[in-house]
Chains A and B, each alone.
Chain A
Amino acid sequence: MEFPGQGVTVLFGPSGSGKTTLLRCLSGLERSPEGLFKFGDATWQDEARDIFIPVHKRPIGLVFQEPRLFGHLNVRSNLLYGFNRTPESERRIFLDQVTEILGIAHLLDRRPKFLSGGEGQRVAIGRALLTSPRLLLMDEPLASLDQQRKREILPYIRRLQNELKIPIIYVSHSLGEVLQLVDTMVLLKQGQVVANGPVETVFSQLGLRGQIDPTLMGAVFDTTVEDHEPEFGLTRLRFMDHLLHVPKQEAEVGRPIRIHIHSNDVSIATSSPNNQTSVLNILAAEVIEVGPLDAPGYSVDIKLNVGQPMLATITRKSLARLGIVPGQKVYAHIKALKMVHEWDDHPMQ
């Protein structure tokens, strides 16, 4: 399997799916009995040739579930611990930069035990960044924080991704936590990769039913705020040629908002609604593929193209009644959608 050399790649799966083990092997904290790990041109592990580069010689930064700050050192010394051990020629990230991005400049002289959980985790991220890693590995870095602290940290992670351009591999079992960060999604189950790809397409693949939490299936759209309709209490979001209505957002025009649509909340009509429905969000779509019909139960997944793939789950009876076939032009009625930043913690089943 290959990971992209940029953006945020999320390893997503329930506990026991092997995501943390994979991360530990990538970092060199553990040596898998067999395996081949390469980073760019460098080989980190090749059991066939008995090559194993230990963790302290890999150009990585690691962030754990807990901050794991060194209690005998203050924040500044914690931040500089790895920096001082990084050869001068490899230093690309400096203290001022990191304290500015993470908002921790005022904490430098404190001892770790006087930090809140969110502050501690920001310092831990900063400490990892100051080794100027070429790859940042994060193992559920927000797991020990409450909802509010998570929201406090996520923008910082996005920001360091934007400003420092370090590829991030991020392990998580909580979709709400990662959906606003992720570029590439790797879905794991019992040590196997069940799906991987760009977040825009990974949840709209057919054949994932039974493999992942069904509430994940549907689509992820990256939209921007088009305008507000205060008289109706709505905000309109632009997604390609479409405009989607959502409850009023406190966000200025042009701001990006990622949304997730659950396939059960999408229904299909074969004729133009002509404003004869109460559903506001209707997208013209083309049927790409009809999912397997031999599955147990009464429903079937339809893969649609609305400029980007999207799944709709309808009953097999409706499928037969409407006579839906690939290539057909239809209308997708979206009954509900979720703004990603509104996601509550949503652990995988």
Chain B
Amino acid sequence: MDVANFDFTAIGLTLKLAGITVILLLIVGTPVAWWLAHTRSRARVFVEAVVALPLVLPPTVLGFYLLIALGPNGWIGGPAKAVTGSALSFTFTGLVIASTLYSLPFVVQPLHSSFEAVGKLPLETAGSLRASKWDAFFTVISPLALRGYITATVLGFAHTLGEFGVVLMVGGSIPGKTKVISIEIYDRVESLEYTQAHLLSGGLLVFSFLVLLTVYTINRRLPLHVA
């Protein structure tokens, strides 16, 4: 197997999946993290535990339940089939949903701690300066919580790149649709194509290391604005 015939489909698919997942995660994770940082509700510990579940569960457990939920008779897949004509298991959309759930703690937790560090006072202060809550969130809270956002984005992205079990359960390995790098590597090893496996594994290793290195460097250099 020579390098010239290398198939980039899996790489492109993986980057697309991680990118979309991270964007979704930031949209979903921000309100969850904000709520966790500021609520006095008793439901808080419950939600915290649920968000942290993907950290401890075997990916196959999460994948198994998601497979059922996203399938033609599942409570997500069923309605989806009624509307679009097909269920979500073994589709790219299904993968996005699964990845979002799976990487949720990696986005929520850094955001949660930086929202806690920033506190509610800047929101009050901005309010006294004629800023509505939304305005204050985007112009004061978010910039002050920038470190949290950078960490959340990178960890969410990197963790989605590295997932295997959930993707295998929910997506199968359909080339160009659901076959991401980690599964591609598995398949190559199974068929003893070690050169390809080396390239992909080494690439993923170097890429992940560089990404983490960048984050830690930025976080070191980035001035922490919170007193």
Contact = CB atoms under 8 A, between A and B. Distances in A.
Interface stretch (B4-12, B62-70, B118-126, B185-193): B118-126
Interface residues of A, number: 22
Contact of A56 (B132, B144, B223): B132
Contact of B130 (A70, A86, A113): A86
B226 A81 contact: no
A55 B135 contact: no
A85 interface: yes
Secondary structure type dominating chain B contacts = helix
A68 B131 contact: no
Interface in B113-161: 121-122, 124-132, 135, 139-140, 143-144, 146
Interface residues of B, number: 21
A87 B96 CA distance: 44
B225 A72 contact: yes
A206 B131 CA distance: 46
Nearest to B225: A71
B124 A128 contact: no
Given A55-B124, A70-B122, A71-B226, A131 B144 contact: no
Interface stretch (A58-66, A230-238, A261-269, A324-332): A58-66
A163 to B, nearest CB: 21
B226 A56 contact: no
A200 B126 CA distance: 37
B149 to A, nearest CB: 12
A62 B225 contact: no
B124 A85 contact: no
A253 interface: no
B125 A68 contact: yes
B128 A27 contact: yes
Given A70-B122, A71-B144, A82 B227 contact: no
A68 B129 contact: no
Given A70-B122, A71-B225, A71-B227, A60 B129 contact: no
Of B125, B126, B143, B146, the most chain A CB neighbours within 10 A belong to B125
Given A54-B127, A86-B130, A68 B121 contact: yes
Contact of A55 (B127, B143, B144, B225): B127
Contact of A64 (B125, B130, B225): B125
Contacts of A60: 128
Nearest to A132: B130
B118 to A, nearest CB: 10
Contact of A81 (B129, B223, B225): B129
A128 B226 contact: no
Contacts of B132: 56
Contacts of B121: 64, 68
A132 B125 CA distance: 16
Contacts of B130: 56, 82, 85-86, 131
A341 B25 CA distance: 58
B144 A128 contact: no
A293 interface: no
Contacts of A62: 125, 128
A317 to B, nearest CB: 55
A127 interface: yes
A113 to B, nearest CB: 8
Given A28-B127, A85-B129, 6 more contacts: A56-B131, A64-B121, A70-B122, A81-B131, A82-B130, A131-B129
14 contacts: A29-B124, A29-B128, A55-B124, A56-B128, A56-B130, A56-B132, A62-B125, A68-B121, A70-B225, A72-B143, A82-B129, A85-B130, A113-B227, A128-B128
A-B complex: 4 closest residue pairs judged by Cβ atoms: A71-B225, A82-B129, A62-B128, A85-B130
Interface of A: 27-29, 54-56, 60-62, 64, 68, 70-72, 81-82, 85-86, 113, 127-128, 131
